[in-house]
Amino acid sequence: MSGSLVRLDLHPLADHGWRQRCREQLNQSGALVLRQFLKPQALEAIIEEGNAQRHLAYHTRSKHNVYLMKPDEAFSANHPRNRDVLSTKGCITDDLIAADSPLRQLYNDDLFQRFLCDVLGEDALYPYADPLSSINLHYAPHGQELGWHFDNSSFAITLLVQKPLAGGIFQYVKDLRDADAGEMNFAGVEAVLDERQPVNELEIDAGDLVLFRGRNSLHRVTPTEGEVTRMLAVLAYNTQPDIALSETARMTFYGKL
């Protein structure tokens, strides 16, 4: 199955040595970019599906702090703990992705999942128990952006489907906090928000697969510029079975349950 979707000549998913190099790269830099991951026909089909379903996208515009937590009144509104950044998102949910979509074939593919487990150091990966959250396709037309944040989950798997003419750049600062140790690093976060700290950028093209550890690495996507909408697929897995995204989160992100 993966052979019809994935450039296995460039990315030998079954090869143990290659998996190990991927794992080392991810652990060293916090991100792994597998360039030209998809075969051109598979990418074309996803672009077509994305364009056809685009009118169904749910758009939200929200302000949040980088920690994605409710404000803490012990700090001022401008303190890095509470400071608002803007995210403008539009996406379609798993129920709107076709049964025969290359995105779903890839998401469900055994070899792909075993490769991910090995690189991420997980025993198994499971789909979301709710009907909306496993595969999402995000749209960012001109002017839309994702503000600085830390993810709640320890890893994210994305596939850039369509690259905008300009902007829409993924920027990050690796290991800026230590969530498990309760270290928030307000000074470090403030330096990024105030643009006093240099940031890294991922150079990503359409068809590239990205594995990213975003729980402790602050990241954002700069505003898209120009006529071409940024389209990005998020392949979301859990490390435990039977986990659903909370109803509150589904209403916030998708506007439905």
Dihedral (CA of 35, 39, 40, 45) sign:
negative
Q: 231: closest CA among 89, 107, 37, 41?
A: 89
Q: Which of 95, 151, 175, 190 binds Fe ion (CB under 5 A)?
A: 151
By beta-carbon proximity to Fe ion, the closer residue of 141 and 214 is 214
Minimum CB distance to ligand AKG, residue 221 (Å): 5
CB of 212 to Fe ion, least distance (A): 8
At its nearest, how many Å lie between Fe ion and the CB of residue 154? 12
249 binds, among Fe ion, ligand AKG, none (CB under 5 to 8 A by kind): none
CB-nearer residue toward Fe ion: 102 or 139: 139
Residue among 80 and 90 whose Cβ is closer to ligand AKG? 90
User: Residue 19 or 158: which CB sits closer to Fe ion?
Assistant: 158
DSSP string computed for 120-184? HT-S--B--SSSSSSEEEEEE-TT--EEEE--SSS-EEEEEEE--SEE--EEEETT--BTTTTB-
Kindly state whether residue 214 participates in binding Fe ion, applying the rule CB under 5 A.
yes
Is there a contact between 160 and 227 (Cβ–Cβ < 8 Å)? no
Residues that bind ligand AKG (CB under 6 A): 138, 146, 151, 156, 158, 170, 214, 219, 221, 232, 234
What is the number of other CB atoms lying within 10 angstroms of the CB of residue 85?
A: 16
Interacting residues with Fe ion (CB under 5 A): 151, 214
